[in-house]
Amino acid sequence: MKFERSRGLPPRSQRFDLGLRWVVVLAIPATIAALFVWCAGWFSPRPSAPRIVDAFEATTTPHPGFRRNHAKGICVTGHFESNGNGELVSRASVFAPGRYPLVGRLSIPGGDPGQDDGAGAVRSFALRTVLPHGEDWRIAMNSVPIFAVRTPQALFEQLNADARDPQTGRPDPEKMQAFLDSHPEVRAFDRYLDQHLPSSRYDNATYYGISAFRMTDAHGVHRFVRWEVVPDLPYRPVDARKRRDPDFLSYDLMRQLATGPLRWHLVLNVAMPGDSIDDSTRQWANSPSRPRIDAGTFVIERAQTQIDGPCRDIVFDPTILPAGIAPSSDPLLAARSSTYHVSLERRTWEEAAALANGH
């Protein structure tokens, strides 16, 4: 003790307290930094949004400036005619009777904007409905009512299995088979495709929101729903003649719109006991006792090319919702939101770089 005091040091107990305080002070920012990198997925085996987008890119050749999935599509504009029935389950402004403008996009899955339409087994429909008081509602739907996989990790594994082999330029069938063997939930998706041929046109397909969403009505009552949009036109399967035209989907859409608007009814399917709320690989039973609410009509009036059309820079993030609608705990919703935004950042940067280089 005399030695410590002779050198101007505080007693050992005080130095211990001082050291402990410094440990706490330094540990707080270190913990925050660690949480940040963990959430970003930099040092975690779980897939971050950039890693998932990287995996999408590995399934095709580079196509700068285009979406990493659903690269081929067409913009549409129109409005939503709400009939007020949706207020039975939600206080969202979109369900108040009225007419609300929208911008949308019809597309097929895949990262190649030049692929033939006949290669697409699924049709996709995305919408942004502009609402009062600065709100909007964004929907991303497919013509299949379920997803192939349940989690972002499974999606990441699926994309890796579908990645192009550098030697052959094609996916490795052994990797895909290993993925399918380890993910039996994919069988339900494959069975649906086997039993439901893709539609002959964009405008005669039913589109499904797939994930569940939580609705809150004016009394604060919560209900979960899955929505679908059902066309006025009858479904017809695609045939061999159609498949010979590489762009038959957009061509037929433009031709049909020249004769008048196209309409889909928004149907809200209310969850029943036993329905899965957080697993989008499981289809809800088609029960006659299930409440189904026709909440209004999506009306498409015009179509424009995606290169310079109004949908070009829209992120159809399914978690952008008006008050009265909220995401469920389905893990794919957050993953879709983050990957869509990473895709936008990359294609925006690529367009800027091309302009800077005079291309």
Q: So what's the pLDDT on residue 167? A: 83
How far is Cα 261 from Cα 79, in angstroms, rounded to an integer? Answer: 10
Do 300 and 202 form a contact (C-beta atoms < 8 A)? no
Count each helix (H run) and each strand (E run) in the chain, helices first.
9, 10
Q: List the domain boundaries for the chain.
A: 45-356
How far is Cα 306 from Cα 104, in angstroms, rounded to an integer? Answer: 10
Packing angle, helices 152-161 and 49-57, rounded to 10: 20
Cα atoms in the 13 Å half-sphere on the side-chain side of 231? 17
Pick the CATH number of 45-356 from 2.40.180.10, 1.20.140.10, 3.90.550.10, 3.40.50.720: 2.40.180.10
pTM: 0.86
CB under 8 Å to 275, separation ≥6 — which residues? 212, 224, 284, 285
Do 163 and 171 form a contact (C-beta atoms < 8 A)? yes
pLDDT digits (tens, 9 = 90+) for 113-169: 999 999 999 999 999 999 999 999 999 999 999 999 999 999 999 999 999 998 888
pLDDT digits (tens, 9 = 90+) for 336-348: 999 999 999 999 9
- Token pair 């005669």: residue: 204
Residue 340 annotated as lining a ligand binding site? yes
> What's phi and psi for 214, nearest 5 deg?
-95, 125
How far is Cα 235 from Cα 237, in angstroms, rounded to an integer? Answer: 7
- 70 tagged catalytic: yes
> What's phi and psi for 294, nearest 5 deg?
-80, 105
From the list 63, 70, 133, 359, the catalytic residue is: 70
* Mean pLDDT to the nearest integer, 98-122: 97
